[in-house]
């Protein structure tokens, strides 16, 4: 690591922070420090950083907006990479939307609607980045990224820059190939359809009101904690099992939405993990179903 850090200072890597607490970088507001947090602002900087890590045989953790991630209380050893301001862009070319990895997925859906383009309405309540949405094949309200995805530019773990289409991404429910083949999305292109601005706005307004009515948006969370099992809903199972409102330290199974765990003020990662394990064990005992976590758990335990 010492030689890597020395070599890191010799290249243009963007912003580099040491022993950086990650709680402020996650929507759960939970997480210990990263040994090294690198925030490249250009594709060239990102490629150089990943190539350097590859030469030194070092692994890294990719951090977007931290909306689907639980960082352990001890933090993350080694290097964490977060695409910076240079990846925070969006532009429209007819029915094609080009967006950087750091761009807000919610904001992108709103802008698309204003452009009279339909297809991204489902993203109006997904508080992650474009890069994270592609990585997880994020979805809601009966649709997901795979329905509108055209291509993505990706820096592989070797530092090679590639462009993947939908076939290469191997999308499935909350899954892409990047979950097995490490890589960092730098930007993506989505193909939408022309629609009626008023109809799109009305649809998005209705979805927003539904979220306000059913989701605990005033408290820090990571959205849905568990994937829906086949032909069922995780929230229904958790609610039916009587687990709404269960607390562990500062973490609570939301009383509004049973598949959300909220940070009531001083929750730790261990608080959340304890609740997650309790939920999984209870649902398995009652229904014979093992819920699979949708959130990514990273860091030293």
What is the residue whose two structure tokens read 């950087």? 100
Element (H, E) at 271: helix 269-287
Q: How many residues does the chain have?
A: 301
Q: Which two tokens stand for residue 98?
A: 């080009």
Active-site residue among 20, 121, 252, 294? 294
Q: How far is CA 152 from CA 18, 127, 165, 191, 240, in A?
A: 30, 20, 7, 12, 40
Closest listed residue to residue 264, CA positions, set 276, 279, 248, 243: 248
What is the residue whose two structure tokens read 């009587």? 242
Measure the CA–CA gap between 210 and 226, rounded to whole angstroms: 20
Active-site residue among 65, 104, 174, 252? 174
Q: Which two tokens stand for residue 208?
A: 């927003």
Measure the CA–CA gap between 190 and 171, rounded to whole angstroms: 14
The answer to whether residue 294 is catalytic is yes
Active-site residue among 109, 224, 252, 254? 224
The answer to whether residue 174 is catalytic is yes
The answer to whether residue 168 is catalytic is no
Active site residues: 174, 224, 294
């Amino acid at each position: 690591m010492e030689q890597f850090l020395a070599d890191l200072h010799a290249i243009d890597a963007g912003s580099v922070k040491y022993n950086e607490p990650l709680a402020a970088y996650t929507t759960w507001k939970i997480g210990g420090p990263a040994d090294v947090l690198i925030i490249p602002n250009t594709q060239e900087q990102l490629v150089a950083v990943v190539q350097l890590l590859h030469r030194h045989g070092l692994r890294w953790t990719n951090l977007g907006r931290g909306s689907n991630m639980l960082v352990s209380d001890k933090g993350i050893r080694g290097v964490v990479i977060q695409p910076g301001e240079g990846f925070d862009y969006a532009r429209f070319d007819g029915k094609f939307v080009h967006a950087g990895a750091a761009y807000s997925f919610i904001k992108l859906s709103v802008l698309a609607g204003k452009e009279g383009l339909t297809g991204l309405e489902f993203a109006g309540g997904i508080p992650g980045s474009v890069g994270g949405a592609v990585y997880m094949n994020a979805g809601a309200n009966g649709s997901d990224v795979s329905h509108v995805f055209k291509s993505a530019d990706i820096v592989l773990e070797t530092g090679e820059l590639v462009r993947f289409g939908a076939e290469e991404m191997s999308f499935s429910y909350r899954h892409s190939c990047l979950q097995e083949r490490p890589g960092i999305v730098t930007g993506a292109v989505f193909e939408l359809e022309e629609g009626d601005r008023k109809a799109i706005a009305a649809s998005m307004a209705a979805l927003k009101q539904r979220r306000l009515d059913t989701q605990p948006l005033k408290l820090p969370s990571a959205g849905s904690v568990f994937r829906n099992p086949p032909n069922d809903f995780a929230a229904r199972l958790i609610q039916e099992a009587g687990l709404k409102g269960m607390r562990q330290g500062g973490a609570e199974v939301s009383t509004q939405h049973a598949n959300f765990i909220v940070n009531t003020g001083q929750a730790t990662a261990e608080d959340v993990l304890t609740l997650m394990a309790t939920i999984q064990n209870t649902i398995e005992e009652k229904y014979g179903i093992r819920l699979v976590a949708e959130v990514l758990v990273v860091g030293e335990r």
